Amino acid sequence: MVLGTHTGIDQWATPLATVERLADVVRGRGVVIREGCRVVDIETDGNRVQRVVTQDGGVAAAKVVNAAGAWVRDLGELNGVRLPVSPRKRQVFVLERPPDVPADSVFILEEEDDFYCKTRAEGLIMVCGQPPGETLDPVVEWGYLDDALSRTERRIPAARSMPIIGAWAGIRPVSPDGRPFLGPAPDLEGYYVAGGFGGQGFTQGPLGGRLVAELITTGRPSLDLTPYRADRAPAVPRSR
């Protein structure tokens, strides 16, 4: 270990519960949320957005934000908006927490190997393994479990003997340079992008959403979005 920090007041949140609470808030303000409603087209009049077409019908819209996560590239392609965002799978395995490991144990990160582990309410979480290539299939690949256990037991020896109590896989929308795409799409008025956050969407997404909302409503976001332009050509390869 080169460097480590720890504080007993680190904050954490459950993504699903957080999204549900946010949804409750915006519904209370009159926002209509349609779930399980796939977008099949975004109609335009020349170079201006006019209407979003879904599998259940259409919605008139002069402004559209493509915040489709792992599907942001596919959605952009419907209108010729090129977004080099790759859907990449990550594996998560959960062990029963060893008795000698406190519930507020440190967050262990090996960035060079794309691995981390941390105790949470649900147990000892190990995140390890990014299969090569692109996929939208969230099926767990158990072949990465032994690698995750080997890395974890170097710091927590008891981990190897603990039972597996859960596992899942998620799809990360990864950009070539590790930065999200935020802002208007070139040559298509009313079309905005907020995507490519990689594994940081839960933490960076709220700020990205606020900046794009400021851009749409006032034309002046509170931060310079030039490094995140949707029409930039990122060329620095990243594994995450």
Taking only the tens place, the pLDDT of each residue in 190-228 is 999 999 999 888 889 999 999 999 999 999 999 999 999
Provide the pLDDT for residue 106: 80
Provide the pLDDT for residue 4: 65
Provide the pLDDT for residue 177: 93
Same domain, 170 and 181: no
Give the domain-ending residue among 126, 144, 174.
174
Question: How many domains, in total, are found in the chain?
Answer: 2
State residue 117 phi and psi, 5-degree precision: -145, 155
Same domain, 90 and 170: yes
CATH number of the CATH domain containing 191: 3.50.50.60
Provide the pLDDT for residue 75: 96
- 145 found inside a domain: yes
Q: Which residue has the higher pLDDT, 176 or 235?
A: 176
The pair of three-digit structure tokens given for residue 87, joined into one six-digit string: 């859907």
Give the domain-ending residue among 156, 174, 192.
174
Same domain, 104 and 183: no
- 26 found inside a domain: no
Output the pTM of the full model. Answer: 0.87
Provide the pLDDT for residue 3: 64
- 58 found inside a domain: yes
Give the domain-ending residue among 174, 206, 227.
174
Same domain, 186 and 155: no
How high does pLDDT run on average in the chain? 90
Taking only the tens place, the pLDDT of each residue in 5-50 is 666 676 778 888 999 999 999 999 999 999 989 999 999 998 999 9
HEC profile of the chain: CCCCCCCCCCCCCCHHHHHHHHHHHHHHCCCCCCCCCCEEEEEEECCEEEEEEECCEEEECCCEEECCHHHHHHHHHCCCCCCCCEEEEEEEEEECCCCCCCCCCCCEEEHHHCEEEEEECCEEEEEECCCCCCCCCCCCCHHHHHHHHHHHHCCCHHHHHCCEEEEEEEEEEECCCCCCEEEECCCCECEEEEECCHHHHHHHHHHHHHHHHHHHHHCCCCCCCHHHCCCCCCCCCCCC
Taking only the tens place, the pLDDT of each residue in 170-188 is 999 999 999 999 999 999 9
CATH number of the CATH domain containing 112: 3.30.9.10
- 154 found inside a domain: yes
Same domain, 101 and 139: yes
Provide the pLDDT for residue 239: 45
Determine the straight-line distance between the first and last CA of the chain, rounded to whole angstroms: 21
Q: Which residue has the higher pLDDT, 78 or 237?
A: 78
Same domain, 91 and 156: yes
Residue 222 domain boundaries = 46-85+177-240
- 38 found inside a domain: no
